[in-house]
Amino acid sequence: MIRRRLLSSLISSNSLLTPKTTLISTFYQIQPFKDSNFNNYIANGASGFMGLRAYSLLSLNDLRDNVPRKQKTRKGRGIGSGKGKTAGRGHKGQKARGTMKFGFEGGQTPMRRRLPKRGFKNPFSLTFQPVGLGKIARLINAGKIDSHELITMKTLKETRAIGKQIKDGVRLMGRGAEKIQWPIHLEVSRVTVRAKQAVEAAGGSVRRVHYNQLGFRALLKPEWFEKKGRLLPKAARPPPKLRDKVDSIGRLPAPTKPIPFYTEEKEAASTPA
């Protein structure tokens, strides 16, 4: 704003109305018109000058590194600095001679031991992604899932029925069970009672399969093993605590046909008609 006022005042002065080049400041330069009809421009109210030539505020000799504004305090470099001799630690004592571990309070009971414990974290807990039968029915009606083929967790991920991160598996929920009106076959980690009854009532089947972390990677991203030049791992057996919660071991690579429940078929065949 100050430069504009200075510029306007200098242009309006009579000393600048000369055909010679005049420097207003170190940043602007005024050049006269190179025209013979100079008096016509003055009569029409023009300033008689072509314009302003702006000079850059940045030059090579002004370049410098991006140094911090506040320099690091140099301790132990004389009394003139204010941090000499004891370097701000004071005289004697444990804090002046060395450092203590984090949380040390001089020998008294530290804070982490004075506060009581609340709750616990179960190291054996499993996290499953839920998916409802209603969402699967909508994807089947939209043509994204073929109901004649086996629906695996890889199918659910590719059709975005579940999120990208499958930590411990997928749990089949009974939400929208009334929309399942045709037989479908699924392989998931867990299934609720309502969802299993709805699928079996429509003539389908649900199998609970077990995969470990490496098995899930081989199921969902088999191209990763091809890129690394590795073979697909063998399916892992479930631990003893989970054997009663699964029906079979997960198959690799991703299966396309369901496995029938032979025990149920034998029981159905043994019962009299």
pLDDT of residue 204: 92
Q: Which residues of 228-262 are buried (b: 16+ CB within 10 A; e: fewer)?
A: eeeeeeebeebeeeeeeebeeebbbebbeebeeee
pLDDT band at 70 (very low <50, low <70, confident <90, very high): confident
Residue 112: partners with Cβ closer than 8 Å, 6 or more residues away:
103
- The string of DSSP letters for 115-160 reads SPP-----TT----EEEEHHHHHHHHHTTSS-TTS-B-HHHHHHTT
In the sheet that holds 205-210, the strands lie side by side as 185-188, 205-210, 248-249
| Residue 174: per-residue pLDDT | 93
What's the confidence (pLDDT) of residue 267? 57
pLDDT per position as a tens digit, 181-233:
899 999 999 999 999 999 999 999 999 999 999 999 999 999 999 999 999 99
**CA–CA distance, 163 with 160 (Å, rounded to integer):** 6
In angstroms, the CA 90 to CA 77 distance is 16
| pLDDT tens figures, 138-182 | 999 999 999 999 999 999 999 999 988 888 999 999 999 999 989
Please state which of the ranges 13-17, 66-70, 74-78, 251-255 shows the lowest mean pLDDT.
13-17
Q: What angle do CA 153, 159, 162 make, to 5 degrees?
A: 55
Identify the DSSP state of 73: P
| Residue 45: per-residue pLDDT | 52
The predicted model scores a pTM of: 0.57
Interval 3-62: pLDDT, tens: 555 545 555 554 444 444 444 444 444 445 455 555 555 555 554 445 555 566 788 888
